[in-house]
Amino acid sequence: MSDDKELVPQVIDTHQELVRHIEQGAAKMRALSVLTLLVAAFLAMAYVSQLLLPLTGTTSVTVNLSDPVNIVTELGVLALAIAWLYVGLRDYRFSSRMRREIFEARSKERQIQDRLA
């Protein structure tokens, strides 16, 4: 029975950590989602403008790859991609750790049920 008393705080701590992680992750994901929406809207408008160029008589466009606006845009999209990779990796590590802890908690639950039966 002393094992049962030790298990309850572990389960409560794990649950509190899960809730805290979900709350923190949700706030970060909302911020990244808003940023992603802004970048996606910008890219969609840029693509639409490129599709409309032939209708205005423009048949070719020269792009200056060293233009500061192009470089800043590319760096911004790269930063967003790296941020999403970081969030994905962090969430993967957290879910892997939680899966292990949940497996251990389930096995302890089975042990308790076996003792009670």
Rounded distance between C-alpha atoms, residue 102 and residue 107, angstroms: 9
Average pLDDT, the chain: 79
Range of the domain at 55: 2-116
Query: How many domains is the chain built from?
Result: 1
Asked if 14 contacts 105 with a C-beta cutoff of 8 angstroms, the reply is yes
**Mean pLDDT score, 50-63:** 88
* Proportion of the chain above pLDDT 70, given as a percent: 93
Rounded distance between C-alpha atoms, residue 29 and residue 91, angstroms: 11
Q: What is the pLDDT of residue 68?
A: 95
Asked if 21 contacts 96 with a C-beta cutoff of 8 angstroms, the reply is no
